[in-house]
Amino acid sequence: MKKMRKTLQIFAIVLLMGNKVNAQVPNGGFENWSGTEANAWVSTNGLTFLGNPQSVYKSTDAHSGSFACEINTIHVTNKPQGAGIPDYTGSIFLGKLVNFNPIMGASNKYRPDKLVFWHKYIPKGTDSAVALFTLTRWNTTTNKTDTVGLGIAIITDSTSTYKKTEINVNYFDSKVPDTILVLFVSSTITANKAGSKLIIDDVDITGGNTGIIVKEITELEIYPNPAKHLINLNLTNTNIDKNVMITITDMHGKNIYIKEHIGGSLSTIQTSTYTPGVYIINIIGDEKVLAKKIIIE
C-alpha cells in the first residue's frame, strides 16, 4: 500500500497550523460500550475470567456526553502465566481483541502535536496515575515497528472535578506514523494498595504545525459555487487517484471537514450547517494535492 502511505504523508503536510483533528481517537468520548468494555478499547476487565475483580466501568460522571470511563486499581491475585502484570493495577488501552489476544493501537494518519483528555483522579495514599501516548510506524526494511513519537503524563494531584491534561509529543524522526497507542493506568507499577480511581473522558489529538501552502488549481470541478445546502465534487478531469482524502478548512485555518473518499469520480458534501463565508477545499491524492476556494451563502 505504498500509494496509500504517500497519501497519508501528503495529508499530514497540508494540515494547517494549530488545527484540531477531530475524532481521531476512536470512541474517545467513551459513549459506545459493549457490555463492560468500551468500544475500540481493551481493559483489565479481561482478568475477571481468572477470578479477579472488575476494574473498568462505564461511568455516568461524564465531562461531556452521557458516559466516561472509570478505571479502578484492583488487587490482581490470579495472573495469566508469563504475563508481566503488576499486583495492583487497572488500565485501559486503545486496541482490540483478536481471538482473545489484545492488539494495541489504532490506525493513525497524522503527526499530532499532543494528546488531550479530561480526567478526575482520587488516588489511594500517594499513588499516581499514568497516561502514555505513543506513535509508531511499521518499518518495511527491518520488519519491525519503529517508535516515531512519544509522550507521557504522570497524574499525582487528587481532583474530584474534571481537569484538562495535554501531553506533548516528542518526535524522534520526520516520518508519518501509521499507528497511535494510548494507555491509561490508574496506578504506577509500585502501587501496593487497591482503590485508586481514574475517570477519563474526551480523549483527542491535535494536529501538527506544518504551514505548507498548496496552490489553487482550476481542474477540480465544484458545483454549485457559491453553494447553500451542498456541494458536488467532480474528480474526472483532475488526473488524481480516486482514493483520496477530502478536507475543508475555513479562512482561519480550522478543519471543519475530514473524510476519506474511496472510489468514484463524484462526491457530495452537505454544507447546510456551515456559517456563510469562504472556505478552502483540499483533495489529497498519492502524487498531488488540489485546493480550491468555495463560497457558502
- Asked whether 30 and 68 are in contact (CB, 8 A), the reply is yes
For residue 212, report the phi and psi dihedrals to the nearest 5 degrees: -85, 130
> Measured between alpha carbons, how far is 73 from 227 in angstroms, rounded to an integer?
54
Residues of the chain within CATH 2.60.40.3080 domain(s) are 221-296
H or E stretch at 10: helix 2-14
pTM: 0.64
Residues of the chain within CATH 2.60.120.890 domain(s) are 20-206
- Asked whether 117 and 203 are in contact (CB, 8 A), the reply is yes
**What SS3 state is found at 56?**
strand
Instruction: Tell me which CATH homologous superfamily contains domain 20-206.
Output: BT2081, beta-jelly-roll domain (2.60.120.890)
Give the pLDDT of the chain (297 residues) as one tens digit per residue.
Answer: 344 443 333 333 333 323 333 337 899 999 999 999 999 999 999 999 999 999 999 999 999 999 999 999 999 999 887 777 889 999 999 988 776 677 888 887 778 888 999 999 999 998 999 999 988 888 888 888 888 888 888 898 999 999 999 988 888 777 788 889 999 999 987 788 999 999 999 999 987 643 333 444 556 788 998 998 899 888 776 666 556 777 787 665 566 777 777 666 778 899 988 888 888 787 765 545 567 788 899
221-296 — its CATH code? 2.60.40.3080
pLDDT on residue 218: 56
